[in-house]
Chains A and B, each alone.
Chain A
Amino acid sequence: MRARLTSLLGTAGYAALMAAGYAYNLTFVQLGLTGLGRDRLALPEGTVAVAMGGLAIGTCLVALATGWRMRGWRMRGKLRVAAVALTGQTVLTMLVGWISTPLALGAWLVAGAVTLGIAVPATFGLATDLVPVRWRGLTAALITAFAYGLAIAFLGEWEALELGARLVPAMALGTLGLGLLAVAPGPLRGIVGTLERQADDPAFARGRFVSTGAQRRLVVAAILLFLVFFVDSLGFVRLVDTAYIGAAWQSPDVMDRGALVAAHVGGALAGGVLYARFDERLLLPWIFGIFALVALMYVADIRAPIGGPSQALAMPVLYAVGVSLYTVLTFALWPDLSTPDSITRNVAIGVALSAWTATFLSTGLALAWRHAGVNLDQHLSAVAAVGLLVISAMWLRRLTSGPGPVTG
C-alpha cells in the first residue's frame, strides 16, 4: 500500500513537473522571448527569427549530446541534472528584465539553449522511473491538459517580463523540490529509494513497443512527428500576427478562452485514452487531418470577399484538439519505445530532433515565404496541402500493407 502510494506520488510529481515545464516552453520561450526581441529591443522580425532558430538548434544539439551521455543513468542522476538545469533556467528567467541589447539577448539565448537542452532528456527520461507503462497515456493527457490550461488561462499579455515575474516563484519552488529529491536527505531517502527501484520493474521499464521492432518504429515515429510539428508551426507562425489570435487565444472574453481550454482538455483526454488502448497509428491521421481542415477553414474565411476575420471559435477549437492529440503522443510515445537504458537518447531524438528542428525549419520557411510575397491564404493552402499529402501517404501505406496480425 505504502509502495503504491509512493508510486502514485512519483507519477503525480512527474506530471506536475512536465506540465509546468511545457507551459513555460509554450508561453515564455516560444512567445515571450520572441516578443522581447521584437517589441522591447525593436529588432527586425528576421533577426528575431534567426535568434530563435539559433536557440532551437542549440537546444537540439545540447539535448542530443546530453541524451547520449545520460544513457543508462539511474533516477538520482537524472534528478540532479534536472535540478541543476532548472536552477539555471530559473536564474535566466529572473535575469530577463536586464536584457537591453541584442548582445545580451544573444548571450541569454546561448545560456538558455544549454539549460533547456540539458533539461529535455533529464526530465523526460524520468518517465521510465516514475510512470508505469499502463498509465502513460493518461499521464500524458493530464500533462497536456494542465500545460495548455495554464498557458491559455494566463490572462495577461504573453510578454516575457510579465510571464517571468509570475513564473519565477513557481520555478523556484519546483527547483527546491527537485533539489531535495536529488539530494534525498533523511526522511526522503526511503521514498527516493522506492521510486528508483521502479526502473527495475518491467511494469515501468519496458515500454509497450520495445519488443516490436522498436528501432524502426522510433525512426518512423520521429519522421511522422517531425511532420506534425512542421505542419503545425508552418501554419501557426503566420496566424500569430493576425487578428485571429486576438479573437481566440488572446481574447479578452473569458468564455472564448474557456472554450479553448475545454477543447485542449477534451482533446488531451481523448488522445490519452485512445493512445493507451490503441497506438499512435490511430491518432496520427486524425492529427494531420485536423491541421489540414483548420488550414482550409482559415483559407475559406480569408477568401470571403466581405467581412473581416471570423470571430467564430470553430477553427481555434478544432486546432486546439489537434495540438492536444499530438502533445499526448510527444509525452507518451518516446518512453513507450524505450527502456531505462535508451530513454534519454530516444527522447533527445524524438523531442529535440523532431520537435525543435521541425519548428525551426517551418518558422524559417514561413518567413521566407512571407519575404517572397506569399499571401496568408496561399500560405495556409500550402499547409493544408502538406497535411493532406501526409494523410494520403499514410492511407496508401496502410492500404498496400494489408491488415496486419490482430493483437489484443
Chain B
Amino acid sequence: MIGRIVLLAVVALAVVGCTPEGMGGITLVTHGSHRVTADERIPGSVAVAGGTLVVEPGAGIDGDVYVGDGELVVAGSIGGDVSAIGGLVRLQPSSHVHGTVHVGASAIVARAPTARVDGGVDEGFMLPDRMDAASSPAADIAWAAARALAAVLVALLIRRIAPGRVARTRACLVGMPAESLSYGFLVAIVGLSLIVFMAFTIVLIPVALVAIAALALAVLVGLAAVLDELQARVRPGLPGRLSALGAVLLAAVGLAVLPSVPLLGLPLSALIVLAVLGAAALAFQRPTSGEARPK
C-alpha cells in the first residue's frame, strides 16, 4: 500500500514538474571558454561551474544564470536573475539583466555604470551571517549535538511508526553487515548519480527531491535499527527505560563526535551511513527464490 502511494506521489510530482519553464532544461558550463554570439538565445537557465561564458551584445539567456565558479561576462541580456555564490560576474555597459543580481560571499561582481539591472543588486545573498556567528568551536559542537539529537529523535519516531520495518532493517544490519555495506554502496552511488541527473533535467527536480527524501528516510530507518541494537546491547547492564535512554545518548554522542575524529572519523561515518542505508534497502526488497532473507 505504502509503495503504491509513493509511486503515485512520484508520478504526480513528475507531472507537476512538466511546466513550460521546466521543459527548457539547464545548460551547464564546467570548463573552457564559450560564447553566446549575437542573435543567439539560450531558452532555459544556465549554470556556470567553471570556465568562462561570454554573452555577447545582442545575445541572450532567457532563464536564470547561476554562477558557482568560473567567469560570466554579460554584454547581452539575461531574462531572469543572476545568482553568484562564487566566481566572477562582469556586467558590461551594454548588458541588461531583467531580474535581480544576487551576490554571495565568495562572488565578485564588476558592474559597469551603464549596465541595467531591473531588479537591483542583492548584496546579502547567502551571506553567512549566522555561519559567522556559529563558527566558534563551542557553537560548532552545540550545532553538531543538536543535529545528532534531532536525527536520533526522528529515528525514535520512525521506530514507533514502523516497528516491523525497523526490526527487519536491524536483522539485515546485524545478520548481514558486509552485504548491507555492499548494497548501501550500490544504492548510494546509483541513487546519487540518478538524483544529480534528474536535477539537471529540471523537469524531474520534484522526482529528484522525492528520491533525496527517500534516501534520507532510509538512513533514518537504519539509524532507528542501530538504536534498537544499541538498546538490546546495553539492556543487560541497565534496568527498564534507562537502557533506552542509554541507547539514545550513545547514538547521539556517536553521531556528533565520530565525524570530527581526525583521519578515521569521516571514512568510518561514511561506512556506517552506507551500511544502514544498505540494510534499510535490503529490508525493503521483496524476497524471491534463491535470495536470503533476514529472519
Task: Indicate if the CB atoms of B190 and A406 lie closer than 8 Å.
Answer: no
Task: Indicate if the CB atoms of B200 and A300 lie closer than 8 Å.
Answer: yes
**In angstroms, how far is the closest chain B Cβ from the Cβ of A393?**
16
Does A281 have its Cβ within 8 Å of any Cβ on chain B? Answer: yes
Q: Given contacts A289-B190, A293-B194, A300-B197, is CB(A306)–CB(B36) below 8 Å?
A: yes
Does A398 have its Cβ within 8 Å of any Cβ on chain B? Answer: yes
Task: Indicate if the CB atoms of B291 and A278 lie closer than 8 Å.
Answer: yes
Contact partners of A404 in chain B: CB under 8 A: 288-290
Interface residues on A, range: 35 or more
Task: Indicate if the CB atoms of B291 and A266 lie closer than 8 Å.
Answer: no
Does A286 have its Cβ within 8 Å of any Cβ on chain B? Answer: yes
Per-residue CB contact flags for chain B residues 157-185 toward chain A (1 = under 8 Å, else 0) read 00000000000000000001011011101
Task: Indicate if the CB atoms of B30 and A310 lie closer than 8 Å.
Answer: yes
Q: Given contacts A270-B186, A310-B30, is CB(A281)–CB(B290) below 8 Å?
A: yes
Contact partners of A271 in chain B: CB under 8 A: 182
Please tell me the number of chain B residues within 8 Å of chain A, measured between CB atoms. 37
Residue among A274, A281, A300, A314 making CB contact with B201, cutoff 8 Å? A300
- Best-buried of B28, B42, B185, B290 by chain A (most CB within 10 Å): B290
Task: Indicate if the CB atoms of B28 and A304 lie closer than 8 Å.
Answer: yes
Q: Given contacts A281-B291, A293-B197, is CB(A306)–CB(B53) below 8 Å?
A: yes
Contact partners of A304 in chain B: CB under 8 A: 27-28
A344–B238 alpha-carbon span in the complex (Å) = 60
Contact partners of A273 in chain B: CB under 8 A: 178-179, 181-182
Does A163 have its Cβ within 8 Å of any Cβ on chain B? Answer: no
Does A318 have its Cβ within 8 Å of any Cβ on chain B? Answer: yes
Which of chain A's residues 119-150 have a Cβ closer than 8 Å to chain B?
A: none
Does B196 have its Cβ within 8 Å of any Cβ on chain A? Answer: yes
Task: Indicate if the CB atoms of B185 and A270 lie closer than 8 Å.
Answer: yes
Q: Given contacts A300-B201, A307-B30, A318-B189, is CB(A398)–CB(B288) below 8 Å?
A: yes
Residue among B28, B193, B197, B290 making CB contact with A278, cutoff 8 Å? B290
A209–B197 alpha-carbon span in the complex (Å) = 38
Task: Indicate if the CB atoms of B27 and A305 lie closer than 8 Å.
Answer: yes
Per-residue CB contact flags for chain B residues 251-295 toward chain A (1 = under 8 Å, else 0) read 000000000000000000000000000000000011111111101
Task: Indicate if the CB atoms of B28 and A297 lie closer than 8 Å.
Answer: no
Residue among B186, B288, B292 making CB contact with A403, cutoff 8 Å? B288
Task: Indicate if the CB atoms of A290 and B190 lie closer than 8 Å.
Answer: yes
Q: Given contacts A403-B287, A408-B292, is CB(A318)–CB(B28) below 8 Å?
A: no
Does B32 have its Cβ within 8 Å of any Cβ on chain A? Answer: yes
**Identity of the chain A residue whose Cβ is nearest the Cβ of B179 in the assembled complex:** A277
Residue among B34, B42, B293 making CB contact with A406, cutoff 8 Å? B293
Per-residue CB contact flags for chain A residues 272-307 toward chain B (1 = under 8 Å, else 0) read 011001110110001001100100110010001111
Task: Indicate if the CB atoms of B292 and A277 lie closer than 8 Å.
Answer: yes
Does A400 have its Cβ within 8 Å of any Cβ on chain B? Answer: no
Residue among A209, A274, A312, A321 making CB contact with B189, cutoff 8 Å? A321
Does A186 have its Cβ within 8 Å of any Cβ on chain B? Answer: no
Contact partners of B287 in chain A: CB under 8 A: 403, 406
Task: Indicate if the CB atoms of B189 and A279 lie closer than 8 Å.
Answer: no
Does A44 have its Cβ within 8 Å of any Cβ on chain B? Answer: no
Interface of B is mostly: mixed
**Identity of the chain B residue whose Cβ is nearest the Cβ of A307 in the assembled complex:** B29
Contact partners of A305 in chain B: CB under 8 A: 27, 42
Task: Indicate if the CB atoms of B289 and A286 lie closer than 8 Å.
Answer: no
**In angstroms, how far is the closest chain B Cβ from the Cβ of A34?**
29
Does A194 have its Cβ within 8 Å of any Cβ on chain B? Answer: no
Does A269 have its Cβ within 8 Å of any Cβ on chain B? Answer: yes
**In angstroms, how far is the closest chain B Cβ from the Cβ of A99?**
39
A270–B51 alpha-carbon span in the complex (Å) = 36
Task: Indicate if the CB atoms of A407 and B32 lie closer than 8 Å.
Answer: no
Task: Indicate if the CB atoms of B286 and A403 lie closer than 8 Å.
Answer: yes
**Identity of the chain A residue whose Cβ is nearest the Cβ of B194 in the assembled complex:** A293
Task: Indicate if the CB atoms of A269 and B182 lie closer than 8 Å.
Answer: yes
Does A405 have its Cβ within 8 Å of any Cβ on chain B? Answer: yes
Per-residue CB contact flags for chain A residues 212-242 toward chain B (1 = under 8 Å, else 0) read 1000000000000000000000000000000
A305–B40 alpha-carbon span in the complex (Å) = 11
Per-residue CB contact flags for chain B residues 26-67 toward chain A (1 = under 8 Å, else 0) read 011111101010000010000000010100000000000000
A selection of 22 A-B contacts at a CB cut-off of 8 Å is A266-B185, A270-B181, A273-B179, A273-B181, A274-B186, A277-B176, A277-B292, A278-B290, A281-B288, A300-B201, A304-B27, A306-B29, A307-B32, A314-B193, A318-B189, A318-B193, A404-B290, A406-B289, A406-B293, A407-B291, A408-B293, A408-B295
Q: Which 4 A-B pairs have the closest CB atoms?
A: A404-B289, A270-B182, A273-B182, A306-B34
Residues of B within 8 A of A (CB): 27-32, 34, 36, 42, 51, 53, 176, 178-179, 181-183, 185-186, 189-190, 193-194, 196-197, 200-201, 285-293, 295
Residues of A within 8 A of B (CB): 209, 212, 266, 269-271, 273-274, 277-279, 281-282, 286, 289-290, 293, 296-297, 300, 304-308, 310-312, 314, 317-318, 321, 398, 401, 403-408
Known pairs A270-B182, A306-B27, A321-B190; list 14 more (Cβ under 8 Å). Answer: A269-B182, A271-B182, A273-B182, A279-B291, A293-B197, A300-B197, A306-B42, A307-B27, A307-B28, A311-B31, A314-B193, A321-B186, A406-B289, A407-B290
